[in-house]
Amino acid sequence: MGEYKMSSKPRGVCLIINNMDFGDPKKYRRGSDKDEESLKKVFEWLGFTVEVQRDQTAEQMKTILRTWGKENHKGDCFVCCILSHGTTNGVYGTDRGIVSREDIFSPFYGNSCRSLNDKPKVFFIQACRGRQLHPIVQVQADGNKEEIAGEEEEEEELETDAETVILDGADFFVARSTIKGYFSFRSSISGSWFIQSLCEQLKKYCPEGEDINSILVRTNEEVSRRLGEIEREEQNLIQYIKVKQMPIYNSTLRKRLVFKP
């Protein structure tokens, strides 16, 4: 199996859209600055030019994505990281408008962005995709209680069929913090489970020449083993619920994608 060319300097652009302030203190995404910092540091180390956009409305996000889709990409790869609240239908802009899957990916399809044809297009999305909590099958007796907050979203209605990302064209890699229908979790102190694990795995295994698929398997394993606790109020009673999380990734890559620094 071949590898994608990854020798340009810089290797490409890493776009980070980090929505933290939604105009309501209860919905402020505390800890997402830690995710932004970790992503920026690791992708600069991997040879990417990093651009950060904070607190964007849905229309602003769509405009940013369309603009990058029209760019003449000289590098070997494009990476996009979206950190926000979310729902089953997409991710939220700071105005609570929805940015759908099509809004995110279609600007980079082959007919829209020819300069990225035959080049890997990588997306990491940290956001809720529903309101369900993962049931705990096996609880670790020595699991530490953590201060965490769900990527809260408003849409109550859940789709019953599992989503599979089938993209219009080859060379896409999409990793999400949770499977469809479920919450995603974030520490207000240290950042989200998914992004922090992803960055640690990239730092550890990129120098060893592991490909992105293997690194995401390691990320999935680490996040799935974590155990946290959230606070919920029901019938005027405070309940503490133990929670877990399962990330997911989908790929139409045709070769190994290796980010060796």
Residues taking part in catalysis: 85, 128
Which residues lie below 8 Å from residue 62, measured CB to CB, with a gap of 6+?
A: 99, 103
Mention every residue, 6+ apart, whose C-beta is less than 8 A from residue 176.
125, 127, 129, 247, 248, 249
**Looking at residue 147, what DSSP letter applies?**
B
Measuring CA to CA, which residue among 67, 121, 60, 46 is closest to residue 91? 60
Element (H, E) at 61: helix 58-70
User: 226 vs 67, 82, 140, 248, 250, CA distance in Å?
Assistant: 38, 22, 9, 15, 22
| 212 touches 254 (CB < 8 A) | no
